[in-house]
Amino acid sequence: MLYIDHIFSPNLLYKPNFKCDHITLYGSLQNKSKIENVLSDVKKSIKKYPIYNQDYQVTIFIVNEHIFDIFKVFSMFGGDIDGINLFDRIFISSDLVTIGTRKNRYLYQIFVHEIVHSLQAKRYGGFIKEKIRTPKWVHEGYAVYTSRSKSYKEEESDIKKFLDIYRKSKFEKFNSYDMYRVYGLMVQYAIEKMHKSIDELHQGEVSRNDVLALLLKDYNISTKE
């Protein structure tokens, strides 16, 4: 019953810690001021995205590691090993927050990634009331793409090596982190090189195979075995 309450009414189990505009955070924190600074940066970034909606409201719950591990079972509904978004409620492990305060950029990425999922659900439909079935590579790839710093740049040699391994694996045997990394590269390419809009991507009007083929071609990676 406790886990069911965490999923459907977690606000009854935790007290609100603080509110930052549209974001309300529940749970105990050791470094409240640092988390506030991270969320302030998150808020500024979110407003710059085309997917931004000024009416959005997000609740973030900092839960203990045991509860978070149970929630991983539900990650198929929108989440990964670092953050889980269930019904527009974002759950993050208290251990991750403790680590994150020493690596604010990483914690920033987790917050943005999961909040973007909530904005996607609001604009295109979510798990409960689905309007448009967004392709998974776009759903996760756009969250990865937007959560990266504008100054973030991978070495071309690393990208080529990674994409080649991904191609040879036939898109299997990849964990969530690695798969999302490729999805992020694909969305970045579709937006910045193919000049596709976020609506075209989310509405399934852009072929994953076409984007991947062009991306591989750009990096001179053969599509043949």
3-state secondary structure of 128: coil
Same domain, 154 and 194: yes
Name the DSSP class of 203.
Answer: T
Same domain, 77 and 153: no
Count of CB atoms situated within 10 Å of the CB of 83 = 26
Range of the domain at 160: 136-218
Number of helical H runs and strand E runs in the chain: 10, 5
Q: What is the pLDDT at residue 78?
A: 45
Counted domains in the chain: 2
Q: What is the pLDDT at residue 223?
A: 65
Q: What is the pLDDT at residue 24?
A: 87
Same domain, 86 and 57: yes
- Specify the CATH number for the domain of residue 53: 3.30.2010.30
Same domain, 154 and 96: no
Same domain, 183 and 93: no
Asked whether residue 129 is assigned to any structural domain, the reply reads no
Asked whether residue 224 is assigned to any structural domain, the reply reads no
Same domain, 115 and 196: no
Long-range CB contacts (within 8 A, 24+) of 11-20:
11/59, 14/61, 17/62
**Domain end call among 124, 152, 178:** 124
Count of CB atoms situated within 10 Å of the CB of 148 = 16
**Domain end call among 91, 124, 157:** 124
Asked whether residue 88 is assigned to any structural domain, the reply reads yes
Same domain, 32 and 96: yes
Same domain, 118 and 167: no
Asked whether residue 214 is assigned to any structural domain, the reply reads yes
Q: What is the pLDDT at residue 79?
A: 46
Burial class (CB in 10 A: 0-12, 13-18, 19+), 221: middle
pTM: 0.83
Asked whether residue 85 is assigned to any structural domain, the reply reads yes
Q: For the chain (length 225 residues), average pLDDT per consecutive 10? A: 61 72 81 82 90 88 79 56 78 75 77 91 69 82 84 66 70 63 90 95 93 88 67
**Domain end call among 97, 124, 151:** 124
Contact 206, 190 (CB under 8 A): yes
Work out the angle at residue 205's Cα, subtended by the Cα atoms of residues 200 and 211, and round it to the nearest 5 degrees. Answer: 95
Same domain, 19 and 108: yes
